[in-house]
Amino acid sequence: MEPELNRGVSEEVPTRIEMPCMESDRKYQVNIPKSKSGLKRPVDERHALLRIEKDNAWIRSLNRQLAETFSSLVTRGDRVTVAKTAGVMVWGTYAGEPEQTGTIILDHKPDGRFKLVPLDITPNSLLTDVAHLVGRDGSVTSEEGKHGLIFRGELRSPGEPIETEATAQEQGPEVAPGAEAPTGGFEKITGADAIAAIGQKVTLEFIDRGVKVRIRGKQVDCEKTAKHIVKGRPTLASQQGGKYMIEGNLNKPFLRKGANQQGPDANGVYTRLDALERTFTAFGENLTAVHAACLAGCREDTMFTIVVNDRSAGHCVISSGRRRLA
């Protein structure tokens, strides 16, 4: 039986609330985006309703502890909790893949297990993403339900690592960098040819020693690319003649240096598995070799590829995606 909602109640999220400042008696204001869809109120304290719209995530529950626990697993950065007439609403920045919209209800069992059920029109990719964020590694299963996939598993505790370093090393051979990738015979596609091959509509350039990136092109294309590769909000965004420009810090998976990095292999490709971020990254000069290496360690449907210019070393192809769990 699927969790029930109070379908007669729909509440709008307040756009501004006052929060006490810990260091003084002053108060500061926090702006909270409004959901385009009303947040229905669950009727059971075991339930928490999650609404995701691009980077925003709202959670509504009668149970404050459940709402804040759920939010800590699916959001990143600061979160805001608002008391409602019944229960609470928590807002934060969604920690999963951006540019998706949907509504999911979490049914939390007394023994720590959970069930995720989609509501309205919610893509399976979003449901899968949320399940991997909230479930303990190896515990999540899925089945086809009346309105789409239903996920079950053991709820991960806030602060509990998604995977310990030891576990990552034990599983290393399954997703080892380039473990199943061919070792040669790749067609060489580099530079401008690689940009054309992936249909990249913007130009990308490393700045600040490769920690930041500069994106140039049409505004809509720049913003779409930034959603995938820029950490948080851009540090600069401006219109320059007929071109739009965005600068920002690179997301961790798209950096060229990091822990557990290996390479280069025989094809000049470096690879990196990040157990905490649950990502797998490959980068090098040749597009076909980088793609093959990345596909050996990540899920193809989550892989995102960019070609970035480095003024001192030329173009670099970077592919990253959610790591394979098995």
Residue 27 pLDDT greater than 50, yes or no: no
Please check the confidence at residue 37 and state whether its pLDDT lies above 70: yes
pTM check: above 0.85? no
DSSP one-letter string for 300-326: GGG-EEEEEEETTTEEEEEEEEEBP--
Q: Other C-beta atoms within 10 Å of 42: how many?
A: 26
Chain mean pLDDT for the chain: 80
Task: Report angle CA 269, 270, 276 to the nearest 5 degrees.
Answer: 145
pLDDT at 268: 92
Kindly tell me if the per-residue pLDDT of 39 is higher than 80: no
For 40-88, the pLDDT digits (tens) are 778 789 999 999 998 899 999 999 999 999 999 998 888 898 888 888 9
Contact 274, 253 (CB under 8 A): yes
For residue 219, give both structure tokens: 């505004």
% of the chain at pLDDT higher than 90: 37
The pLDDT value recorded for residue 64 is 93
Closest to 34 (Cα-Cα) out of 57, 12, 50, 49: 12
* pLDDT on residue 325: 66
Q: pLDDT value at position 184?
A: 54
Cα–Cα distance between 156 and 149 in angstroms, integer?
20
pLDDT digits (tens, 9 = 90+) for 94-152: 887 767 889 999 999 988 899 999 887 888 888 888 888 888 877 888 887 776 788 89
Alpha-carbon Rg of the chain, whole angstroms? Answer: 21
pLDDT, tens digit, 9 for 90 and up, residues 254-272:
999 888 899 899 999 999 9
Residue 52's nearest CA partner among 106, 122, 108 is 122
Whose tokens are 């003084």? That residue is 24
The predicted pLDDT at position 194 comes to 93
Q: What angle do CA 105, 99, 136 make, to 5 degrees?
A: 45
pLDDT for 309 beyond 80: yes
Give per-residue pLDDT as tens, 219-268.
999 999 999 999 888 888 898 777 899 999 998 899 998 888 998 999 99
Domain layout of the chain by residue ranges: 5-154, 166-322
Residue 13 in this model has a pLDDT that exceeds 90: no
Are the beta carbons of 257 and 229 closer than 8 angstroms?
no
pLDDT at residue 141, rounded to an integer: 86
> Which pLDDT score, from 0 to 100, does residue 208 have?
84
| φ/ψ (deg, to 5) at 15 | -85, -20
- The tens digit of pLDDT for each residue in 192-206 reads 999 999 999 999 999
Contact between residue 294 and residue 306 where contact means Cβ atoms under 8 Å apart = no
pLDDT at 183 over 70: no
Mean pLDDT of 16-26: 44
**Whole-number Å distance between alpha carbons of 216 and 205:** 9
